[in-house]
Structure 1
Amino acid sequence: MSFVDAVREAVATIPAGAVASYGEVGAHLGLGPRQVGRAMSLLGEDVPWWRVVYADGTPASCHEGRAPALLAEEGTPMRGARVDLARARHHWPL
């Protein structure tokens, strides 16, 4: 399986209302955050890309800045313009 496919599968498991940072997705897969970012740039709209955020909770700015609205639609806990990571962080099963 390619690292792009691995990122696709991992991101698809993040439930609505939850998020993971690029680094957390990478740690789950044994990749670096930049590799995750590269893979994310190759994925289409069929993957919930808006559920992957920066380490400080800032939503992605790609896709014409739609991430904050999509996160709000899902009821993702926010602290101002950033995701409240303490409440919204996704944890993969061990």
Structure 2
Amino acid sequence: MTKTEKLKDKAIRHALTLACEQAKDKVAGFSWLTHQANLKQLPQSLTVQCYFTDAHSLAQARDKQTLACVVELVVTELANIGYHVKPDAVSFTSE
């Protein structure tokens, strides 16, 4: 990994950590998130997987339409560092 790629990865991890902490505060049952990316093809290769504590929590978040809040947090934090991702780059599952 080049120095530039390390800096990009660090910035992405920091932005997603901020989004994760906000999501934990705002969305019941939200647990954590992870990402995958080809650092040579950003932002189009960037995907974010969000995890809820269980299937019931995920279903409740879908029913209350709070998943859009999590998507907005992720997209906004990434945009703040210059990576404009589409909302469909964010997906959800339960642990």
Same fold (TM over 0.5): no
User: Normalising by structure 1, what TM-score?
Assistant: 0.34
User: Normalising by structure 2, what TM-score?
Assistant: 0.34
**Structure index of larger Rg:** 2
Q: Where is the strand percentage greater, Structure 1 or Structure 2?
A: 2
